[in-house]
Each structure stands twice: as C-alpha cells, then as structure tokens.
Chains A and B, each alone.
Chain A
C-alpha cells in the first residue's frame, strides 16, 4: 500500500490504546489545540475523525482506542506504513485567552486531547490543573506528559489501583472546593462528559467539552455530525468540536452515536475473522 502520508512512530500506550505519529506538514504546520484530523486508511477505508494530540515539526500525533474495524486496522499499522488520506487540521481551535485557573479533565482515551490544550493554556498565561481518570491503572495514559504540561496533575481510577479511588468528577469537585476555578475542559466518552459537566454547572464555571459525533467529510458538507447546542443545530466539524458543555444535548449526541452500531460490529467481526484466517496460515491473502 503506498499512501501519501507516512507513519513515523506507532505503538501501544495501554490496553486497547495506541499512539501514532504521522508526517503531514499541511496539518502539522497549522494545527492548534482542540483541532482534529480525518484519516482514510486506504482506498476502501471510511473517513474517521481523530483529535490532534501533539505536534512536532512536520508530524502530528493521534491517540486512539480500538473500537471498530478502522481503529483495529489502524492499530495494526507500524512505522513505515502509510495512511492514504489525512485532511486537517479541522474544526475550530480551543478558545484561548487568560482565564486564570483552568482544570482539564480527561476520561480514558479522551485524555489524548489534553496535553496540547494544556500547553496552549500555559503559554497564554493560565494556571493549569490536570485531572486524568481511567477505569484502572493499566488504562491510564500520558501521565508523564501531563505532569510536565500542567502545574499540577491529579489521577483517579474507578477501582483505586492508582491515585484517587473514584471518578474524575470527584477530583474536580475537590479542586473547586479548595480554590477558584475559571474554566474547565472535560474530554472523554459522551456519558462521562454529560455527568462530569454537572459538577461545574451550579457554580456557573465556563466548561468546554469536545464532541465526537460520526463524521464523513469533516468540512460542513454532510451534516452527519449535527449536534444540538443551546437549542440550535450545529455541525461539530466546523462549529466545534468544542462547545459550551452546559448547552449540549448529550442525549441526542449519544442517540446518534448508536446509529451504526450493528454495522460496526459486523465489520469488526469480519475483519477479525479475516486476520485470524491469515494468521492461521491456511489462507494466503
């Protein structure tokens, strides 16, 4: 396969979580915190959005969890392989100004989006507190990088295998109890964002979430990624992906995220069956 964009580095970070550096100057040179790319792995591939997690020279990094066929395929690629199509940076950058004290809350693989936002906020003159939550210690990612990027990093695990025993939302409550918080970013699974943003709502703290609806083109052309924010239809790909958490209709987002679940399951099963057959040696693909 000879695609256009080469994979510089690739590897596993945690259970089912992988990172990948891809060389694409048109993306890397313009990428800002909060933006994303769309990958199409090969001729038959679908277009999937992935948040830009870090940038270095001509390359940028994405971090993803293997969920369906495309992410499973992506995880199987190695340095030296290629991605056929990479478009970006897409979406609006994170709102950046001097808020004061900002708390960045990452849930699971959503943590991938945080380091680049943390660094931008620091450069803009903010104090940044990071909270990284995961189900267990084995699923924690980017601890070192977040320690460097933030003034303070707090960790929670649902099972208590590392850091605070509980949810990231509980840590956020603790921080809010001890000091003034001016802005909060919550990035993770839709349900986690929905629940966690309730912590800041009563206090009226400006809270951003990064939404991850199904996309096709990523340029505002198809409307697949429409979300309801403050009662209005918005396209996450061009109006977002970051929105005011307290105005997002999360139920609608989660409903639309379920659209292709049966197809995704079918596609992954077929892919895994194909891989097994190849590995079994009784099938020469």
Chain B
C-alpha cells in the first residue's frame, strides 16, 4: 500500500533577529501563522495507534486536535486540548516536545516530526485572541480540597479538582500565582500576560486563590489537614550552592534569586521598579540546564558579556537544544569541560578561578564522569556569578509535617498514584521528584487529582 507523504515542509522558527531581541524581554519565537499551522497540521499521518499521545504526560488527543487545525476549526482544536490540559499556551512554549510527543512522532524517523508544540501554542494563542471559552465543571460534590503552591502542579491539580466539582482552596506564598512560570522562566520564553490568562482560566472554575499565604506559617498544618484532601505542589524551591570560597560575596546569586529579581520583581526596570539587581558587565553562569540558559540569556539582556561554564561537554548539556542554540546566537560564550573552584575578590567579585575537566569513565547517568585536570587552572574576569546547578524540594512545609515520609534528597515519597505516607495527603511535581519539567509536574498533579477523586468518592 502506498502512503501519501506530503512534500517536506520546513517550518522555520519565527525567531526575532538577535540584535532586536537582546534589547528587550519580548518573546523570541513569534509562533506560526494560521496558514503555516494548517500546512503543518496537514502533514500529520493521523496514525491509528498514535505514539505521540503516549509521549504526552497529560495525554492530549494530539491527532484529534491536529485534524481540527487542518480543517480550520481552531475552536474545536482548543476544546480538545483543554479536555486534558488547562495550560496549553504555556505547555506549547515550554514543554520539551522533542523528548515527548514529537520524539514519538513516526514522521521523525525519516523526516521532521510534526511541530506539535508549535501547533498547541498556535491553537491556544488563537483561542485567547478570540476570547477563551469558559471551562465546564461538574456539580459541586460539597467536599473541600486544599492545594499548596500555585505553580504548574498546583494549578493543574486545582483545575482538575474544580472541574470534578470539588471546592478548591489554592495557597500561594508569593504575591502572584504561577510559581516557576512567573519567577523562573523569563518572559522572552514565556510572556507573563499569557501565564496570567491561563491562570485566570483556572481561577474561573471557582478556585479560591489565597496569595501571600505560606502554609506552615500563615496556615497551620492542623488547618491544612482539616480539608477533605490535601495536594502538595510546593516545588523545588531550595537553591543549591557549590560551597566555593567567595560564594557569599555581593554579586553572587543563585539562579533562583537572579531570575526572581528580574522575572517576578522586574529588576531589569530598576529604578522604575524598586527591586535592584547587579547587572554585571562580565557574568559567569555555572550549569548546563534550562535554568542556566535562562539565567545566561537574562544576564545578556541586562547588558553583560556572559560565559556559561559547564563541567561536561557541549553534547552533554541537559538544556533543550533549541534554547542552547538561541543562547549561542545571543552571544553567550560556552566554556565547556570547565568547573569553577573559587570566586575571586575582596569586597566585590573580580573573577572566577576555574579548572579544566577531562571526561573519564561513564557514570550512572551514562555520561562520562568529569575530573579536574591538574595544573589547568585559569581565571575568567567577572563581576557577577550565578550558580544554576539545581534546586532541591522546598523543605519548609514538609519539614513541619514529620509524619510525611521523605527520601534522601528531601523529596516527599509518593506511590504510583501520588499518595504520600499520610492518608488524605498527596504530592506531585518537583517536591516529589526533585527538579524536573513543568509538564511532568502537571502530569503528576493531574493523576493525583484523579486519585483524590477516587478516594473521596469511596468515602
């Protein structure tokens, strides 16, 4: 049998030119036009056994929504996505599709996989531009559920539970909802008005958002446990430092602090906004993940010359390839196989002493173990240093609940249905897994919501 394969269509990224985007925090990728979206959607083979759905942590019926895009019914496409995912404009932008849905696409074997992320984003953006359809919800069950943390996990759990008819109270310690979507991911990757619009859609389900409430402090654990069920989505908020000499000099930041000052507090607009930041003329960012790329690209936009220091090889960088590529385009210097050993300076930072690393035997992660090369020390001039070497689960609330079983890294231990060691208490996202992705947190939260529903219906 002959399968008709459409001519290769290369969807070019609609990235704004580097000289423009370095001067602002507006989105880099402009997204697809309606015509491009339709052409791309028409490439979809509409597989009988679609692998892409299996690759999606929230199980969106991908071929179905793509079919609607191809036949010009963008509204219906949005409805199909939203059955499974209330945050599509966000996910279309920040999901690592290349290792999820797009990584499974059969077209990817010989050609380019369908740009599912771009299509999801297009559908969500189009719906938002024409007025979002209010989500449906079931009749009230009369049961109350507390959700802690309004990041990707907490928002998803809240949306799922509210749609199932539960009365949800969502506690957030910061002054705005969104968690890492607001404080962590920069606006040039994820514009904040889009995050706000999707959060508003979740809140429109009747979710009672309590900002400025730190559970464990403003709300006692006893009050929390008075709800019929509790979902913990407190994230991986604890920044790791490297323990280097000089690490406490002014101008040394965790990526969390650096990004929060800019993304949440708008320190880039100081003094119009009151939060200051050390902009740095020469910035060293240490790390190789998406957070490191974000920090480096923010520092670049603040006007600095930025070096990204990573202890392994470029091919080992855990960041998304597209973001690595953009970081390079934006003039960030990649200093690979290098580790910092000392931050130099007395009152302020003057430089970072580094050592070259050689790649040795493969470690448990299947990557070569880096080891310092004796006598290879060298110095990079710097006045700002940003550690983007990872975050651990936020210990504040979970340490207030001693009955909650925790793993070695401080993460809350959950079973495969997201139950913790305490009845009525569930957890998902980074607090359970350690730092991972937005979509994995959302997938966990969604499944946890269904376990909560199952439990409460059986009571």
Chain A residues proximal to chain B, CB less than 8 Å: 4, 26-27, 30, 35, 40, 44-47, 69-70, 84-90, 216-217, 219-224, 226, 228, 233, 238, 252, 255-256, 258-260, 263-264, 266-267, 270
- Contact in complex: B396, A259 (CB < 8 Å): no
Would you give the shortest CB distance from A230 to chain B, in whole angstroms?
15
With A40-B175, A220-B394 in contact, is A30–B217 under 8 Å at CB? yes
With A220-B238, A220-B395 in contact, is A46–B347 under 8 Å at CB? no
Would you give the shortest CB distance from B252 to chain A, in whole angstroms?
9
- Chain A hits for B251, CB < 8 A: 259
Q: Nearest residue in B to A90 (C-beta to C-beta)?
A: B217
* CA distance in complex: A263, B277 (Å): 8
* CA distance in complex: A263, B256 (Å): 21
A-facing residues in B249-277 (Cβ within 8 Å): 249-251, 253-254, 256-257, 260-261, 265-266, 270-276
- Chain A hits for B174, CB < 8 A: 87, 217, 219
- Contact in complex: A224, B257 (CB < 8 Å): yes
* CA distance in complex: A258, B396 (Å): 28
Would you give the shortest CB distance from A271 to chain B, in whole angstroms?
8
Would you give the shortest CB distance from A228 to chain B, in whole angstroms?
7
- Contact in complex: A267, B347 (CB < 8 Å): no
* CA distance in complex: A26, B253 (Å): 31
- Chain A hits for B175, CB < 8 A: 40, 47, 84-85, 87
Would you give the shortest CB distance from A282 to chain B, in whole angstroms?
22
Q: Which of B239, B249, B257 has the most CB of A within 10 A?
A: B257
With A87-B218, A255-B347, A270-B271 in contact, is A220–B257 under 8 Å at CB? no
Binds A, one of B43-51, B125-133, B206-214, B441-449: B206-214
Partner of A87 from the list B173, B265, B271, B394 (CB cut-off 8 Å) is B173
* CA distance in complex: A87, B215 (Å): 11
* CA distance in complex: A94, B238 (Å): 23
* CA distance in complex: A4, B248 (Å): 36
Would you give the shortest CB distance from A223 to chain B, in whole angstroms?
4
Q: Which of A27, A259, A270 has the most CB of B within 10 A?
A: A259
- Chain B hits for A30, CB < 8 A: 217-220
Q: Which of B217, B218, B239, B251 has the most CB of A within 10 A?
A: B217
- Contact in complex: A264, B257 (CB < 8 Å): no
- Contact in complex: B257, A47 (CB < 8 Å): no
Instruction: Show 12 residue pairs from A and B whose CB-CB distance is below 8 angstroms, ordered by the A residue.
Output: A4-B212, A30-B218, A30-B220, A46-B273, A47-B175, A219-B174, A220-B394, A220-B395, A223-B239, A255-B249, A258-B250, A263-B270
Interface string of B208-251 (1 = CB under 8 A from A): 00111110011110000000000000000111010100001111
